[in-house]
Amino acid sequence: MKLAFSTLGVPGLPVPEVLRLAHTHGYHGVELRAHPEEAVHPGIDAAQRADTVAEFKAAGVEVLGLAGYARVAAPGDDEPVLAEIRALLDLARDLGAPYIRVFPGASPEQSAAEADATAARRLGTAAEYAADAGVRILLETHDSHRTGADAIRILGPVGHRNVGSLWDVMHTWLGGEQPSQTYAALSPFLGYVQVKDIASPDDTTPLPLGSGVLPLAECVEVLSRHGWDGWLCWEYEKRWYEGAAPLPELLGAGREHLARLLNESA
């Protein structure tokens, strides 16, 4: 498996600094938070996109994916959501990123059936555009659809190879799913896995990997046992928790912890 980290952990940091951290601490890739607060987002022009590609190539680091914020199950018209997804797909294509991330984002006023159908319809429509771009759209286990069982209610009806899943281990655990159950549900669709650690279900402040309660060892063991050889991406949510320790000083120990888990499960 290859290791990456998300720029959510170093909000607003320029690309050269992000790449320096990745190279220094031995990460193979970076998940870019595709938001206007960051250096890389759908609003940057062709020259900025080309510069970003050149910077990643020079550093020998891969763009794992773009973490977008489109909410595919949300109520309302389809077109604004589809336009947001297309903009992300265009950026991913230009950067050579294999994946974009979208959220479910259903509203409490929607029935589960309505939310599932809305998300499946939009993802099915966007899938052909994604195929033309050579990019996969990944639905993250998050918010209204936090477990693998929730996600496959959407992904199953879509049934397109360019639409898959992003397994966020915190949300599936908070949803009461065991790693083996999540893997069984998501394995036909799995793009990559976001790892993290927290103190408790009631305190999701990010912690150094291995110092919290999330079943990271079990997740890695399940993936290894099934021969899965994709990406593990550390999503340290510093952007939302100002009091959390700075990510740069944790990156080395985090990579070592993941390497130990991989060695133990080999």
3-state secondary structure 140-200: ECECCECCHHHHHHHHHHHCCCCEEEEEEHHHHHHCCCCHHHHHHHHCCCEEEEEECCEEE
Provide block-wise average pLDDT over 10 residues at a time, the chain (266 residues).
Answer: 97 97 97 97 98 98 98 98 98 98 97 98 98 98 98 97 98 98 98 98 97 98 96 96 96 97 89
Which contiguous run of DSSP H or E holds residue 64? strand 62-71
Contact present, 145 and 172 (Cβ < 8 Å) = no
The pLDDT value recorded for residue 266 is 75
Whichever domain contains 109, its CATH number is 3.20.20.150
Between CA 128 and CA 159 the distance in angstroms is 12
The pLDDT value recorded for residue 192 is 98
What pTM did the predictor assign? 0.98
Contact present, 111 and 203 (Cβ < 8 Å) = no
The pLDDT value recorded for residue 124 is 98
CA neighbor of 126 nearest in space, from 167, 81, 91, 166:
81
b/e for 171-185, b at 16 or more Cβ within 10 A? bbbbeebebeebbbb
Q: Which domain holds residue 98?
A: 2-265
Residue 25's alpha-carbon distances to 4, 61, 256, in angstroms, are: 10, 12, 9
CA neighbor of 185 nearest in space, from 152, 154, 216:
152
CA neighbor of 101 nearest in space, from 116, 89, 115:
89
**And the tokens for 165?**
């899943």
Between CA 118 and CA 99 the distance in angstroms is 21
The pLDDT value recorded for residue 143 is 97
Between CA 35 and CA 177 the distance in angstroms is 30
The pLDDT value recorded for residue 251 is 98
Between CA 73 and CA 105 the distance in angstroms is 5
The pLDDT value recorded for residue 145 is 98
In eight-state DSSP terms, residue 9 is G
Between CA 36 and CA 11 the distance in angstroms is 11
Between CA 49 and CA 47 the distance in angstroms is 5
Number of domains composing the chain: 1
